[in-house]
Amino acid sequence: MPLVTTTEMFKKAYEGKYAIGAFNINNMEILQGVVNAAKVKQSPVIIQVSSGALKYAGPRYLKAMVDAAVEETGLDIALHLDHGADFEACKAAIDCGFTSVMIDGSHFEYEENVAKTKEVVEYAHARGVVVEAELGVLAGVEDDVKSDVHIYTEPAQAVDFVKRTGVDSLAIAIGTSHGAYKFAGEAKLRFDILEEIQGKLPGFPIVLHGASSVDPESVEMCNKYGGAIAGAKGIPEDMLRQAASMAVCKINMDTDLRLAMTASIRKVFAESPKEFDPRKYLGEGRKRIQALVERKIDEVLGSANKL
């Protein structure tokens, strides 16, 4: 069973008022935790890798692991490049066998973003690969992506962008942000912007980046066992579920997985200081990631039993 694109996933998600989880990976245990959860819940899933993950693990290693996950589970899995910096990065992922890529031109002037996105779309579509782009700017820091400003997506511009580029899905800025420190005060998402875009682009799949809820239990465990993650705060899960019931068909989660893995490893090291077998502490991280993703599928994404 080969990797799939997100086309059919998103069509079903839009019509069914749920979202597909897009989970960032950079090693085997994180991947296994995610796909094991998707298997238990019979949920489609998007495995995505950032440029940082590609540098760390290597594209062919990552692609081979995801191929193995497909064979092992029989799941519908799309392999996605997260935040491709330019045409060459997207081309390399496509040529390696990724079924979906994101070209992130959100930091460029609008016309340049349109041109760069269109170039990737033309190359990708000729090879059966789908493309995600971004309009608007998310604040925060995660992996190689960082910004000190937040610029909301303008609905009329989103319509023009989609029509001119031929992009398959669009990441928009409505108040989410990258990293573990998303809000100083109360969280607020601009559902009015999402609703207006949905009205102007009916049936078109929207993506939310920076959408980890920064799981409080993982943060507490990290801090209990020697971490220093004070003030970490994410997106309330009820807001994410509301977005998933609208036009949002893909919700990205990275920070939650990192926190779950780190919390478990810290706990093992604190409680068993003589432990040096990586299988023992990485295995605990894998278990916690699986439990976390199962809950996300049920309570946030609504994608259980959608295969």
Q: Which residues contact 291 (CB under 8 A, 6 or more apart)?
A: 37
Residue 253: closest CA among 305, 182, 187: 182
What type of residue sits at position 226?
Answer: G
Q: Which of 67, 76, 82, 148 is catalytic?
A: 82
What span, in angstroms and rounded, lies between the C-alpha atoms of 94 and 100? 8
DSSP β-bridge partners for residue 46? 22, 78
Residue 26: closest CA among 67, 60, 63, 54: 54
Is 168 noted as a catalytic residue in this protein? no
What span, in angstroms and rounded, lies between the C-alpha atoms of 88 and 94? 10
Is residue 163 classed exposed, middle or buried when 0-12, 13-18 and 19+ CB atoms within 10 A define those classes?
exposed
Q: Which residues are catalytic?
A: 82
